[in-house]
């Protein structure tokens, strides 16, 4: 059971927008920065979003992140079939004294 | 370009010590302010942070793993190592190494880049 809760799967049509939620508590998301990672099939995870809403160099602006209270959201606009991947959120948990992640969300672009 | 390549035995026996290595290419592992982490993913499950070693060799571990992991580095090989003692079937999964950015003042942290991972199966 992951500390951060994500939907197991989401789907949308090409060109549409999808949001992926990440729910935690005051000891993790509520008090710390959130990062998001994309793992395309058979590849290494890639950092998509750092510090709640910052995109590293090379990440398209179709990907955006936000945080409110103890929840965070990854939004992907203009969906492409190449966006089909697993997405994970992560942050620090001060109660567990550990970095923690969500269980991952599998995105299908139908 | 920074790249990380993990290596391991593929198969480990229950109760033994699992040893994995991560070769780092493109930067010295002792460069200032760099942290190096191990993260694993059991089949069908989410990511679990195992531990982190910083550029001065200070280590930080997931308390839930109860003292079983040990991280170290070999500067002559520019390599990070993980030893996980007393492995069980729950240790089966894909093991990743990743560089971690961490700012101790702001608490900002993230993992980038990651290696492709090395698959470990633990069986008796």
* pLDDT for the residue numbered B31: 84
Lowest mean pLDDT among A7-21, A96-110, B7-21, B101-115: B101-115
CA distance B111 to B107: 13
Which of B56 and B21 is assigned the larger pLDDT? B21
**Spatial contact of B77 and A3, defined as CB atoms under 8 Å apart:** no
- For chain B, the average pLDDT equals 94
**Spatial contact of B48 and B63, defined as CB atoms under 8 Å apart:** no
Average pLDDT over residues A45-63: 97
Average pLDDT over residues B43-48: 93
* pLDDT for the residue numbered B105: 84
DSSP character string of A10-70:
EEE-TT--EEEEEE--TTTGGGS--EEEEE-TTS--EEEEBTTTBPPTT--TTEEEEEETT
* pLDDT for the residue numbered B96: 98
Average pLDDT over residues B71-86: 96
CA distance A92 to A101: 9
Q: Residue A6: closest CA among chain B residues belongs to which residue?
A: B46
Query: Residues 45..84 of A with a Cβ closer than 8 Å to B: which?
Result: 45-47, 50-51, 56
Reported as a pLDDT band with limits 50, 70 and 90, residue A19 is very high
CB pair distance less than 8 Å for B110 and A35: yes
| Joined tokens for residue A79 | 């969906």
Facing residue for B64 by CB, picked from A37, A51, A98: A98
Over residues B3-44, the pLDDT tens digits come to: 999 999 999 999 999 999 999 999 999 887 789 999 999 999
* pLDDT for the residue numbered B67: 79
């Amino acid at each position: 059971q992951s500390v951060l809760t994500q939907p197991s799967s989401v789907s949308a049509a090409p060109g549409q927008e999808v949001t992926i939620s990440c729910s935690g508590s005051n000891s993790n998301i509520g008090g710390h920065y959130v990062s998001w990672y994309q793992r395309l099939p058979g590849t290494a995870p890639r950092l998509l979003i750092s510090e709640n809403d910052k995109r590293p160099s090379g990440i398209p602006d179709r990907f955006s992140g936000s945080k409110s209270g103890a929840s965070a959201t990854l939004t992907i606009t203009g969906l492409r079939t190449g966006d089909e991947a697993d997405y994970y959120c992560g942050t620090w948990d001060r109660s567990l004294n550990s970095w923690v992640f969500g269980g991952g969300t599998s995105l299908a672009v139908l | 370009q920074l790249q990380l390549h993990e290596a391991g035995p593929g198969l480990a026996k229950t109760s033994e010590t699992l040893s994995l290595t991560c070769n780092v290419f493109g930067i010295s592992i002792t460069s200032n302010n760099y942290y190096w982490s191990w993260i694993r993913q059991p089949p069908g499950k989410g990511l679990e942070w195992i531990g982190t070693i910083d550029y001065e060799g200070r280590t930080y571990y997931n308390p839930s793993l109860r003292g079983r992991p040990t991280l170290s580095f070999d500067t002559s090989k520019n390599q990070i190592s993980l030893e996980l003692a007393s492995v069980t079937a729950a240790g089966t999964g894909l093991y990743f190494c990743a560089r971690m950015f961490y700012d101790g003042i702001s608490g900002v942290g993230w993992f980038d880049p990651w290696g492709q991972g090395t698959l470990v199966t633990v069986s008796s």
